[in-house]
């Protein structure tokens, strides 16, 4: 297979775009496409101070690499979660983020969640849920809270995450199967700051397939953690991803068109009559201010994160 632009050997064939590219032209294409998506969805401009949330995985480190090459003012943040899984998952991820930042002379903020809370994420889960469930939901709550707080405290105007198309489509399928209208209304490449104390969130990689991100990391020689979080095993998201991979194998482009058609339908007003944007939360609720952290909350009083921390104290 030859590169469409220069006839050198192609490193990737993107069937959904009918496009094969060599490493040089694939690199260039990824950078240009990302800039296009940033503009198309009005994610941010060169005047913004961008904070990218890095997990040590291929998507978020590649995102940081791309935004850096595009010339944006972009710092990184890594949250230590205290997850081991028998191979030092959190430790290894942090070391890779630090190495990445050091090699490029970029600023990385490291926040150690167990130091803040007094417990690791798995410990926190076993205390708050009596060990019944996976730690993923308390982990998600903790990450969202800390990321937003770090962005606000550092006067960043945007928080960028490395969610790729496969991630977004798996979430979309789950929300559609349950007709979770509130979440569908909220799922978007850009989440505006709906309330004081909330920072704008963007997903510049939301139109790239996971295999494109893996190819990008390879082409750029980015060292990242191959292992998934040890708690992700057996998750519904992984199940949806495998179903979607079967669909994609039979119909190249199915994931992308499912996602793009969803965004278009929303732009035309699907769900909009149910959920008004003015001062109203994703589930249609009014948002209040948490008296402890100043963050937004759907009920009056402490936010979900502060309530959880209060409970374990
Ligand atoms: P996940 O929820 O693990 O699929 O991760 C989605 C995105 O959240 C990643 O692409 C990162 O941008 C961000 N993220 C995940 N884990 C961390 C972490 N430990 N520290 C900072 N950001 C993270
Ligand atoms: Fe949080 Fe896996 S990354 S539980
Ligand atoms: Zn080429
Ligand atoms: Zn709070």
Distances (CA, A) of 21 to 8, 18, 221: 8, 10, 17
The strand pair at 73-80 and 108-112 is best described as parallel
Ligand 2 atom closest to the Cα of residue 122 is: 4
Give mean pLDDT, residues 100-129.
94
For the ranges 45-54, 166-175, 192-201, 206-215, the lowest mean pLDDT is seen at 192-201
Distances (CA, A) of 283 to 53, 119, 136, 159: 25, 30, 21, 22
| Confidence label for 87 from pLDDT (cuts 50, 70 and 90) | very high
89 lines ligand 1 (CB under 6 A): no
pLDDT score of 280: 46
pLDDT score of 130: 63
Strand ranges inside the chain, DSSP E: 12-14, 19-21, 49-53, 73-80, 108-112, 158-160, 190-191, 200-202, 288-289, 296-297
136 lines ligand 2 (CB under 6 A): yes
Q: What is the mean pLDDT of the chain?
A: 93
pTM score? 0.95
Bigger pLDDT: 91 vs 272:
91
Nearest CA, atom 3, ligand 2: 229
11 lines ligand 1 (CB under 6 A): no
pLDDT score of 191: 95
Distances (CA, A) of 194 to 273, 276, 282, 298: 18, 12, 9, 12
DSSP string of 40-80, one letter each residue: HTT---TTSEEEEE--SSHHHHHHHHHHHHTT-EEEEEEEE
pLDDT score of 282: 46
Q: Compute, in angstroms, the gap from residue 3 CA to the centroid of ligand 3.
A: 5
81 lines ligand 1 (CB under 6 A): yes
Question: pLDDT tens digits for 225-257?
Answer: 999 999 998 899 999 999 999 999 999 999 999
Ligand 1 atom closest to the Cα of residue 90 is: 19
Distances (CA, A) of 313 to 63, 65, 125: 37, 39, 14
Nearest CA, atom 18, ligand 1: 55
Q: Compute, in angstroms, the gap from residue 159 CA to the centroid of ligand 2.
A: 19
Domains of the chain (ranges, CATH numbers): 44-227+235-269 (3.40.50.620)
Q: Compute, in angstroms, the gap from residue 286 CA to the centroid of ligand 1.
A: 27
Give mean pLDDT, residues 85-103.
97
Q: Which residues surround ligand 3, an ion (CB under 5 A)?
A: 3, 5-6, 8, 22, 25
232 lines ligand 2 (CB under 6 A): yes
């Amino acid at each position: 297979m030859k590169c469409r632009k220069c006839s050198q050997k192609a490193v990737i064939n993107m069937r959904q775009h009918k496009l094969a590219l060599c490493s040089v032209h694939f690199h260039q294409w990824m950078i240009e496409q990302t800039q296009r998506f940033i503009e198309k969805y009005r994610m941010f401009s060169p005047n913004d101070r961008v904070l990218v949330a890095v997990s040590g995985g291929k998507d978020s480190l590649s995102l940081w690499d791309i935004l850096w090459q595009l010339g944006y003012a972009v710092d990184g943040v890594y949250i230590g979660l205290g997850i081991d899984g028998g191979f030092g998952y959190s430790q290894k991820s942090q070391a890779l983020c630090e190495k990445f930042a050091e090699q490029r002379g970029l600023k990385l903020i490291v926040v150690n969640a167990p130091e803040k809370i007094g417990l690791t994420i798995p410990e926190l889960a076993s205390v708050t849920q009596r060990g019944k469930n996976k730690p993923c939901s308390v982990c998600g709550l903790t990450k969202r809270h800390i990321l937003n707080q770090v962005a606000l405290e550092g006067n960043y105007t945007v928080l960028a995450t490395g969610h790729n198309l496969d991630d977004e489509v798996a979430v979309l399928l789950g929300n559609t199967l349950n007709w979770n209208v509130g979440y569908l209304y909220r799922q978007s490449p850009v989440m505006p700051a709906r309330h004081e104390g909330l920072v704008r969130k963007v997903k510049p990689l939301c139109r790239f397939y996971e295999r494109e991100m893996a190819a990008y990391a390879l082409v750029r020689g980015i060292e990242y953690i191959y292992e998934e979080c040890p708690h992700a095993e057996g998750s519904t998201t992984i199940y949806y991803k495998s179903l979607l991979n079967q669909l994609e194998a039979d119909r190249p482009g199915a994931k992308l068109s499912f996602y793009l058609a969803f965004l278009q339908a929303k732009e035309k007003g699907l769900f909009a009559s149910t959920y008004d944007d003015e001062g109203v939360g994703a589930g249609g609720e009014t948002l209040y201010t948490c008296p402890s952290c100043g963050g937004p909350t759907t009920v009056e009083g402490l936010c979900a994160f502060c309530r959880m921390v209060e409970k374990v104290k």
